[in-house]
Amino acid sequence: MLHSRRSMLAAALGLVASPRRGSARSQQAMFAASEAYERFMGRWSRELAPLLVRFAEVAAGQDVLDVGSGTGALASVVAAAVPSARIVGVDPSSTYVEFAQAHVTADRVRFVVGDAQDLHLPDATFDRTLSLLVMNFIPDPARALREMTRVTRPGGIVAAAVWDYGEGMEMLRLFWDEAVARDPGVAARDERNMPLCRRGDLERSWRAQGLANVKETPLTIRLSFVSFDDYWKPFLGGQGPAGAYVTSLSQADRAALEERLRRRLLRTGTDHPFALPARAWAVRGTVTAR
């Protein structure tokens, strides 16, 4: 039985295709520089990932799909926490896939380029299908969830987490508050307007898909910065909506935003370490028999 499941998984890897041309181009433009992403958000993804792995009840010997695997944060945590798990990571960015494969080298972990909305994988292949901080960036998240459910075995769990951009992700909340205060015209770009980032959004999506035993819960970590530059400089890498906004600014406007944030975070003007809370909403649901 174990041999047949491994054979099926190996065959599935050969079926994963590249994303369709033109799909999610705007998102891919913001998620292309792997090293810059690691400095900006990847380091926090690695702290949040263990909470999602526990919430999804990933267990020994399971086949796990990581949808929107990025630079490998979630897959690396699964590999370390559950040594016998077999993991496939799928991401539309070839540069992220290359980075992840170079840094997560276990034989039972594989990363491939693919589209969450059109997974070229057989039905009922995985025991757990997970997605960390990705669902709100997928152009059609309902379609992606149907695909995630399709490739998960009956009785398996589909789980995801998304930052609470409106209230709980202080690193970005402070950024957008100051950006909008300086230029109200950018309010529409504030990530609080993104889908699936509020309490109950993911739960409703999971129930609409027909998943059973649906549960939503907050996952909270603290982001520790050694200095203001440790907070600010990662935005200059152009990753994510906030980074893309920063790199679109003129040098003068960028300096003005930097100064607003410096005053907001340091208050006294003296640089020092600080920490900010970060909350994500997580959901899980069980795939029913088809």
DSSP string, 6-52: HHHHHHHHTT--PPPTTTTHHHHHHS--HHHHIIIIIHHHHHHHHHH
Is residue 147 predicted with pLDDT exceeding 80?
yes
Q: Please answer whether residues 71 and 29 qualify as being in contact, where contact means their C-beta atoms are separated by less than 8 angstroms.
A: no
**What is the per-residue pLDDT for 14?**
41
Residue 124 has pLDDT above 60, yes or no: yes
Q: pTM for the full model?
A: 0.87
- Would you place residue 41 in the very low, low, confident or very high pLDDT band (cuts 50, 70, 90)? confident
DSSP 235: G
Q: How far is CA 280 from the centre of its chain?
A: 10
* Per-residue pLDDT at 25: 46
Q: Which two tokens stand for residue 60?
A: 């020994």
For residue 39, pLDDT over 70 is answered with: yes
pLDDT in tens, 78-113: 999 998 999 999 999 999 999 999 989 888 999 999
Name every residue whose Cβ is closer than 8 Å to that of residue 102 and which is 6 or more positions away in sequence: none
Beta pairing class for 212-225 and 152-163 = unpaired
Could you tell me the residue ranges of all domains in the chain?
2-166+192-222+279-286
* Token duo for residue 83: 């040594």
The β-bridge relationship of strands 86-91 and 109-113 is parallel
pLDDT at position 37 over 80: no
Q: What is the residue-averaged pLDDT of the chain? A: 89
**Residues 107-127: what's their mean pLDDT?**
96
Q: Where are the strands (E) in 92-251, listed by range?
A: 109-113, 126-132, 152-163, 212-225
Has residue 181 got a pLDDT over 70?
yes
Tokens of 240: 């994510």
Indicate whether 32 pLDDT > 80.
no
Homologous superfamily assigned to 2-166+192-222+279-286: Vaccinia Virus protein VP39 (3.40.50.150)
Coil/strand/helix, residue 179: helix
Candidate from 17-21, 25-29, 65-69, 123-127 with smallest mean pLDDT:
17-21
